[in-house]
Amino acid sequence: MTKNYLLVVLLVFLALAAMTYAFAEQAYLTATPKVASQTQQQVNAIRQSVTPQSIFLNNFLVSIPAIVPIAGPILFVRVWFNTGQTIGYLAYSYGESPLSYVIGVYVPVGIIESSAYSVIIAESIFLTIALSKGTIKERLRNQTWKSLVLYVALLAIAATVEAELIWIH
């Protein structure tokens, strides 16, 4: 992994964190008690049967398209918008500020999970560059697999931690 790759991963991570807060704040400000309550009930229902495998599979399926050059990161913004919106509604339903709720979600699960998403989006950016240079086969053969291994490992760790935290509560 090069310095440029790590820098892109860091920048994507910071962008995801900023978007999480912005989307949560927007949802919080426009939430109604009914929508916030429905969101809380839906999330609580999902938590009843959650496993590390189900969390991993869900997160993998919604994020793996982000690796597609050019379109992947753009499409992932929609997934991230929904995540931020849910966080904003939950903050509203629990009577917390969006910032404190985002911080609570980010430590520790969000940091690990967002790192996985940052890796897959960074790889998409580098695949886009390789595509424009005509070196995509080399990128796929020599680097992409490393990003995929790191992405899957981070997603698995995040899913395990998230499930453990849900089971504790």
Which residue matches tokens 């918008």?
81
**Length of the chain in residues, anyone?**
169
What CA–CA distance (Å, rounded) separates 106 from 102? 6
pLDDT score for 169: 65
pLDDT score for 102: 96
pLDDT score for 42: 96
Which structural domain, as residue segments, surrounds residue 76? Answer: 3-168
Q: What is the pLDDT of residues 114-151, one digit of tens each?
A: 999 999 999 999 999 999 999 999 999 999 999 999 99
Distances (CA, A) of 23 to 16, 80, 121, 133, 164: 10, 8, 19, 35, 26
SS3 at position 96: coil
Q: What is the pLDDT of residues 80-103, one digit of tens each?
A: 999 999 999 999 999 999 999 999
CB 59 within 8 A of CB 109: no
Q: What is the pLDDT of residues 34-59, one digit of tens each?
A: 999 999 999 999 999 999 999 999 99
The number of folded domains in the chain is 1
Nearest to 70 by CA among 19, 136, 23: 136
CB 159 within 8 A of CB 56: yes
What CA–CA distance (Å, rounded) separates 159 from 151? 12
Mean of the pLDDT values across residues 5-27?
98
